Amino acid sequence: MTSTDQNAFDNTINDASFLQRIVELNLTDPRAQDRIIYPLSVICSIVILARICNCNDAREQRLFWLEKLPWLKES
């Protein structure tokens, strides 16, 4: 991730909880509830943050998630 990407991430992470609340209010999770590891709102929030940081495909978004997971768990 470039420094520009890191700056974009730093500038938007403060809005992550707001973003998650919007997703929770607007989406219904169609998945089997007994198989869910991560709530749909968390997945959508990560994808949105990754896209803001120019992670444009699923592979880049997965790497973004894995790289930021420890930090996101602290937030």
| Structure confidence by residue, pLDDT tens digits, 23-47 | 677 778 888 989 988 888 888 888 8
Q: What is the model's pLDDT at position 72?
A: 76
pLDDT, mean over the chain:
80
Maximum average pLDDT range among 3-12, 18-27, 45-54: 45-54
Comparing C-alpha atoms, which of 69, 50, 67, 59 is closest to residue 9? 50
Number of domains in the chain: 1
pLDDT of 22 over the 60 cut: yes
**Residue span of the structural domain in which 20 resides:** 3-72
The pTM is what?
0.61
The pLDDT score that the predictor gives to residue 15 is 61
The region, left, alpha or beta by phi > 0 then psi within -120 to 50, assigned to residue 36 is beta
